[in-house]
Structure 1
Amino acid sequence: MKRISVLIISVIIVCFSVISASAVDYKCDVETVSNAVYLENLNSGTVVYEKASDQRSYPASTTKIMTFIVTAENVGDLDQTSVTIKQDVIDGLDPESTVMGLSTHVGEQVSVRDLLYGLMLPSGNDAALVLADYVGGGISGFAEKMNAKAAELGCTDTHFANPHGLYDQNHYTTARDMALIAKHAMTIPGFMEICNTVYYTPNGFNTLHNTNYMLDPDAEGGAYYYQYTKGIKTGYLDEAGKCLVTSSDKDGDKYLCVCLGAAFSYDENVNYAMKDTAKLYGWAYENLGIQTIYSPADSLASVDVKYVRNGRVLNVVPEKDITALLPNNYDNNQLKVEVNCPEQVEAPVTKGDVIGTVSVKYEDLDLGVTNIVASEDIERDISPLEVFVTEHLTLILIVAAALVLIIVLIIILASAGKRRKARRRSRARKGQRYRD
């Protein structure tokens, strides 16, 4: 095997406020107020902006994303399953606590789906307690399920103490962990439909309004509205600041953004978590895109072909498009391409046969490895014997000459032997005559 390498390298040193290890410098110039931020392109799984994403933070009501997960994964039918509202379950909530209004429905049954709407839209702490009691037998039992799920999802610095997110020093997460939780929630049927709803009226309740003003052009005079926003959950505590987890979708280009710990004062009354999120989405859609680095039409290398005439070579191409999330004005000179394939292949070759692999990097971002394949069919037009003779002609001539030499020597030696025998016989006859 011979390694064929095509290297196109240049180095650019850029001053940048937020740099992630082993990632492209996307040159984000957005100044964020939130203490911890995580922005990921969901199409490629690429993290394009991080700020203290592994810093321990209080999640406030973004906790309810995990409450939704645990509930949905433990209740078989959200519509047909109803829960009786118990007074002792919702007792003790602060009068200023955000609720869906269950206190006026004690003794009644409410579907789990309606409770989930009440959990996610007005951020109902009463709905969180009712669901925790039904699914986990109470706060502690439900929190155990939440923490088990967090561990299962790969969260490394998350611990839940309750289902609603009210302050507890043992209730914390990170922006990165919250992104893992949100991405899993987005795969659950009904989750995005519920958290992306602006208004919803459960049977017998007042209309519920989503606290995520990025979804509603009429909320707060449209100050926070961003048309591509999809869900997900707001949060606020004095100890946590403004928190927000959202996704966005612009023509199929999808992002997930987590902002935790944005400072807030009632005097200023500005939700900087929403402001940060809108600015980050705007920057990403304006500056980044999925770029096609190579396509199956691009020849990456040529290899010799055995058992064909006229020194024919085979062009090898990517098996599929090689794409990556890169700046729209990315520099080709910063690509590093490494093609690995044999120096020679044997005919016959069929178009699409895997010949080797190609790996591509841009700056420090590994864009992955894909197969490279034959670009055409090539038939064999030389027999193996002919190839052998052609390739080993010199050796064959040497062997033939050696055989001829050996034969000549054998003949010479044989002739010499016959002469010696003849002389011995001649001497023997002469000696016999003398004796007679």
Structure 2
Amino acid sequence: MSTMKKSRKFLAVLLTVCICITAVILPASAYEPDFEVPADEGVFLMSLDTGQVLYEQNADKQMAPASMTKVMSTIVALENCQDLGEMVTAPSYIYDEFVGINVSTAGISPGEQLSVKDLLYCMMLQSANEAASIIADHFGGSIESFAEMMNKKAAELGCTNTHFVNPHGLDADGHYTSPRDMATIAQYALGVNGFRDICTSTRYTLPQTNIREEQVVVTTILMQDEYRGGDLYNPYIKGIKTGTTDNAGRCFVSTYQRDGENLLLVVMNAPNTDDDDNQAFTQTQQFYDWAHNNFDLETLVEKGSVLHEVKIKQSFDTDVLILTAASDVTLLLPSGADKTAVQYVATLDDEEIVAPVKKGDKIGKMTLKLGGETIGEVDMLAEKDVKGSTILKIADAIHGALSSTAAKIILVLVILFILVYILFVIRSINLQKKKGKIKRHKKYKL
């Protein structure tokens, strides 16, 4: 397995764990948005800085993702592409499924030649469905095979409510994901080389092809388009992908960067109204405003700070080992929250700490709790080197050997044996002395 594949697998596992971290538990009112959220809507709002979940609704419900599907298609393409400049010819068969239906496209014609990079921008910015299918055919050999690659990646990321049957997201039986899984996929995508540049762009110029002249494609994310967004424009919105179908409703997965805070939000199945009012955009704006106005990033533990002291054995240097924080612990807390209410619970990796110990050795972890719920963890490290003592090690070994019941019984028996032996020796000596006196007495008598 290559180093790159190993790092991707590790990142996937890490992301899965981060998504599952429990949010700060405080009174429910602190987590209730001050606006109405339709009951059928799927929502997952999390902090990219801490992994905390700030709000969720129907987070694990299987829902149609519409064009948010293209996030996974882009992941698979980027991770299997050796050269973004590689030219691809649009096969004619991929257009068959679009006949007679109204779908978003970039106007790519059968036989037209574009680079992989061009196709990815068409797919992610203008939500071009034919571009997604061309990508699928190129990297998978067929739509079905590429969908299998997408599902394999979803499983690798730990998604349990996701299954894809196409690369573009048009409604189909067996094609679904959940808000939580979509957040996992999007967060992973942000770490894939090249993805962030694509999804945060608002326009891209397609060069002249073998069929048409130069053309500009534009983003469907009006919230990040300063020129076309109007009142929807929000300078803090940074990607990622919209989606709309009759079955999926209005969908939008996005990120938000403001004042050092980084949030990720998935909105699925927002009302699909007939007018131009995109309810997914409206909900996104409301959720981000609510989160920004009601939560603050607080550093509860600083890297290197003293967290705990423990006794250490078998060293003449010291009998106390100081433990420090391996990293910062920064969490989103409701504005005005009492940080003194946070409890710090230390857990050691071993029952006894025995020298030698090296500076930086992991000794245990500190768990931060609020209201009985875990809100964060940090490893505790040895502050300095502590040398061991061979003499104390031997003494402890002897003490340990003699601490068992069997050893104590044996020791008592040995002591008794020694005492009996000593008494026997003394008695023997006395007898010898007595015999000597008798012999001398007889001699004098003769």
Which TM bucket (shorter chain)? 0.7 to 0.9
Q: Does the CA-based 8 Å contact 1:101-1:205 persist in structure 2?
A: no
What is the SS of the residue equivalent to 1:140?
A: helix
The one of 362, 366, 381 equivalent to 2:369 is 362
1:211 counterpart (205, 215, 220):
220
Identity of aligned residues (%): 32
Identify the residue that residue 242 of structure 1 maps to in structure 2: 250
| Residue 73 in structure 1 maps to residue 79 in structure 2 | yes
Question: Superposed, which structure 2 residues align to 1:7-406 within 5 Å?
Answer: 22-25=22-25, 27-30=30-33, 31=35, 32-33=37-38, 35-84=41-90, 86=92, 89=95, 92-94=98-100, 96-102=102-108, 105-203=109-207, 204-221=213-230, 223-250=231-258, 252-267=260-275, 269-286=276-293, 287-303=295-311, 308=316, 314-327=320-333, 329-340=337-348, 352=359, 354=361, 356-363=363-370, 364-365=373-374, 367-373=376-382, 375=383
The CA deviation at 1:71 is: 2.6
Q: Distance in 1 between matches of 2:261 and 2:368?
A: 22
Whole-Å separation in 2 of the counterparts to 1:155 and 1:175:
10
CA distance in 2, matches of 1:299, 1:207: 56
* Partner AA of 1:29 in structure 2: E
The offset of 1:89, in angstroms, is 2.8
- Measure, in 2, the Cα distance between the counterparts of 1:161 and 1:93: 18
**1:266, distance to aligned residue in structure 2 (A):** 1.8
**Displacement after TM superposition at 1:368 (Å):** 2.8
Cα 1:334–1:184, aligned 2, differ >3 Å: closer, same or farther? closer
CA contact 1:65–1:233 (8 Å) conserved in 2: yes
Partners of 1:228 and 1:88 lie apart in 2 by: 37
Hey, what's the Cα distance between the residues in 1 that align with 2:315 and 2:233?
67
Partner of 2:102: helix, strand, or coil?
A: coil
Deviation at 1:78, TM superposition (A): 1.7
- Give, in angstroms, the shift of residue 298 of structure 1: 2.1
- Per the alignment, do residues 91 and 174 of structure 1 end up closer, same or farther by CA in structure 2, a change over 3 Å counting? closer
Contact 2:267/2:284 (8 A) holds in 1: yes
2:405 alignment counterpart: none
Question: Is the 1:89–1:130 contact (alpha carbons within 8 Å) kept by the matching residues of 2?
Answer: no
Question: In 2, are the aligned partners of 1:214 and 1:274 still within 8 Å (CA)?
Answer: yes
Say which is worse superposed, 160-169 or 248-257, in terms of deviation: 248-257
Unpaired runs of at least 5, structure 2? 1-19, 208-212, 400-417
TM-score by length of 2: 0.74
CA separation in 2, counterparts of 1:383 and 1:156?
56
Q: Shift of the alpha carbon at 1:271?
A: 1.9
After superposition, the C-alpha distances for 1:213-235 in whole angstroms (9 at most, x for unaligned) are: 121233342x3222222211000
Deviation at 1:243, TM superposition (A): 0.2
Residue pair 1:100, 1:118 contacting (<8 A) in 2 also: yes
The 2-side partners of 1:380 and 1:84 are apart by 70
User: For the residues of structure 1 that align with 2:138 and 2:357, how far apart are their CA atoms?
Assistant: 64
AA partner of residue 361 (structure 1) = L
How far apart are residue 289 of structure 1 and its match? 1.6
Using a 3 Å threshold, how does the CA distance of structure 1 residues 369 and 21 change in structure 2: closer, same or farther? closer
Return the letter of the residue paired with 2:342. Q
Partners of 1:46 and 1:343 in 2: CA distance: 33
- Alpha carbons 1:60, 1:240 under 8 Å: kept: yes
**Are the equivalent residues in 1 in contact too, given 2:301–2:325 (CA < 8 A)?**
no
Q: Distance in 1 between matches of 2:160 and 2:385?
A: 51
Q: Report deviation, 1:208.
A: 1.4
The one-letter amino acid of 2:290's match is W
How many residue pairs get aligned? The number is 393
Q: Does 1:421 align with 2:436?
A: yes
Aligned Cα root-mean-square deviation (Å): 3.9
Structure (1/2) with the larger helix percentage: 2
Partners of 1:141 and 1:157 in 2: how far apart? 20
1:253-278 CA-to-partner distances (Å, cap 9, x unmatched) read 322211100012124x4222222223
Structure 1 unaligned regions, length at least 5 = 1-19, 392-402
Larger radius of gyration: 1
Q: CA deviation at 1:384?
A: 6.3
